[in-house]
Amino acid sequence: MAKAEIRNQIRRLRFEHGEMTQQQLANRAGCTRQTIVLLERGRYVPSLALAFRIARTFGATVEDVFEWAEPQGER
């Protein structure tokens, strides 16, 4: 089975929310700055709880922030 990919809009949303820094977002979402960096680079997929916390920080829904990119060849 092809590996699923989860994309996110964290970087864009940070800039749309007063150019929030990674550290500020990390503090508000309750994670380390390293995790935010890796999320923005697509190198880490968060738990559902962290995904909700990040979305709430932006006043958005999880689906506004995270997007399920269906792997090719899977239906």
Cα dihedral 70, 5, 53, 10 in deg (nearest 10): -100
Closer residue to other proteins, CB minimum distance, 52 or 60: 52
* CA 27 vs CA 1, 3, 6, 72, 75: distances in Å: 36, 30, 23, 36, 38
Nearer to other proteins, 30 or 71 (CB): 30
DSSP symbol at 3? P
Binding site for other proteins (CB under 8 A): 21-23, 26-27, 30-35, 37-38, 41, 43-50
Nearer to other proteins, 31 or 65 (CB): 31
Q: How far is the CB of 32 from other proteins (least distance, A)?
A: 5
